[in-house]
Amino acid sequence: MLFIRIGQNPEINWGHAQGIAGFWHFIRREEFGSFFLLSNPVLKFGFDNFFKHSYFFLKELTLGFGLILPAVTLAGLLFWRKLFLDRIGILIILCFLVIIAVQLMLLSTIDPTDKDSSFQIAKFYLLSFVFFILIAARAITFLSQKFFKNELYPGLLLGFLVLIFLFANFRVNNFSGNYFSQNVVLDAMEQLPPNSIAITVHHVFYFGGLYEQKINGKFADIKLLYFPNEKNRDNEFYQPDLFSRPPDQQFMDAVQK
């Protein structure tokens, strides 16, 4: 359903779904947040970023799974290669490698070491992590059958380690309060008196203001006017329906003066 809705080009595209109703909005892509890295003229691909992302990916993969799971998977790949030479194993590994290559190439327009960046880079690796877990599951199953007569004991041990890692890191990985762009929009809109006309030169404010009006029911008495400059027009390409009206040239000239 989600991939079908992705092709429907909804007007609102922010991505802060919460609760059951928010989940339903997410499935129907009423609040599905995304951005287009390669289409953004500000972001440029760089091989230095590619190598940085490669290191960052390996670090997230290793630390994110508590060192133990990557080590077990690597041992399975090195010493029991036959385990992964069947069609299913080859398919899973190829999917893992292809997804990594595509992700790292797309993300190489962003410097993952930039401390001022608002991007949560690790979340883009989640899809490849799914295939890594499938690879790890095959390795763990094989090792359990080889070294343990009863697979229950290694399963309980692994589950115990997962619980320890979860309770040790769940606060560190809490990104529920990160609303970078939305906070900027709310801060600007809340300072306006009733029946104001908000003139903005940036697509984030215009798009975010429409989101708050249509989805959250706020600022209904404020009229939004988008007065773009030459560098902040990428959302016109992503969501052309919102910017399809012809500009009022007389008004634009007056504002410019």
User: Tell me, what's the pLDDT at 219?
Assistant: 92
pLDDT above 70 covers a percentage of the chain that reads: 72
The answer to pTM > 0.75 is: no
The pLDDT of residue 257 is above 90 = no
Contact (CB, 8 A) for 183 and 211: no
Query: Comparing 173 with 192, which gets the higher pLDDT?
Result: 192
Residue 208, CB half-sphere, CA atoms under 13 Å: how many? 20
The model's pLDDT over 92-141, given as tens digits with 9 standing for 90+, comes to: 889 999 999 888 887 887 888 777 665 677 778 888 898 999 988 888 88
Q: How far apart are CA 219 and CA 190, in angstroms?
A: 8
* 204: three-class secondary structure by DSSP: helix
